[in-house]
Structures are given as structure tokens and as C-alpha cells.
Amino acid sequence: MGDFNGSWAARLMEWSNGTIDEQRARTLVTEIYEAAAERAVRLHEEEVAQREAEREE
């Protein structure tokens, strides 16, 4: 994630007014990104399953 992680970590540190250090910010960004990706996959799988069920009807 390189630059993506670094740029969002910097924003998060700025928004936190110094209450989050760089390592924690990077960890949070990674966790948020991974959770969003997993959610997108789950939603896609649910949509595909719904389409298949509709086709079978």
C-alpha cells in the first residue's frame, strides 16, 4: 500500500492532533483498508448469490 498507507496515516495523525503516533496510524489505515476490501468482496458475493437465486426462480 506504500504511498496510500503513508498519506492516509499522515492525515490521521494530523486529524488526531498528535494523539496517534505514526505506527498506530499506519496500523489503523491498514485495518480500515482491509476491512473495506473484505466488505466489498462480501457484498459482491451476496449480489452474485442473489442474481443466481433469481435466475433459478
- Residue 46 is predicted with a pLDDT of 97
- Residue 57 is predicted with a pLDDT of 83
Q: Per-residue DSSP letters for 3-45? A: HHHHHHHHHHHHHTTTSS-HHHHHHHHHHHHHHHHHHHHHHHH
- Residue 50 is predicted with a pLDDT of 96
Instruction: For the chain, 57 residues long, give each residue's pLDDT as a single digit of tens.
Output: 568 999 999 999 999 998 999 999 999 999 999 999 999 999 999 999 999 999 988
- Residue 19 is predicted with a pLDDT of 96
**CA atoms of 56 and 51, how far apart (whole Å):** 9
